[in-house]
Amino acid sequence: MAEANKPDINVTPLVDVVLVLLIIFMVVTPQLDQGLKVVLPDAAHFDPKNDTTHDPYTVAVARDGRIEVEQKPVARTELFVTLAKLHRDGPDRPLLLRGDTDGEYGAMRSIFAEAQEVGFRGISLVVADEKKGGANGH
């Protein structure tokens, strides 16, 4: 009796495809959450503690004055209403304010004041640790 040929599964093409997909996701994923390009100011002494119990809202202000709230563009005239809605939806969530180092100080200060007026208590300015070159809240 002749032995029947048993088909073998060649997994090499599958592994190749999975590795290519892994590399693509590794390259693309860090760029997904960037939002508005903001060069953060350096800080030698920052407060590293964070409120880890609540996921923070993020407001980014670019050098040219463009504003993004939760990575969605918002007109300056609609910012107060947008912040008020966020605060109603999550009154315990803190707010992270990312401002470009070359941006206008007065614009950042007025946005900070609006966030306080809306009722956000935990407002943090995101800065880059000048020793490490990374971004940190506070």
- Domain ranges, ordered by start, for the chain: 42-137
pLDDT tens readout for residues 71-85: 899 999 999 999 999
* Nearest in space to 44 (alpha carbons), one of 130, 125, 127: 130
Tell me which range, 14-18, 52-56, 104-108, is most confidently predicted by mean pLDDT: 14-18
42-137 topology per CATH: Nucleotidyltransferase; domain 5 (3.30.420)
Average pLDDT value for the chain: 80
Phi, psi of 104 (to 5 degrees): -80, 125
CB count, 10 Å around CB of 3? 5
pTM over 0.85: no
CB count, 10 Å around CB of 50? 15
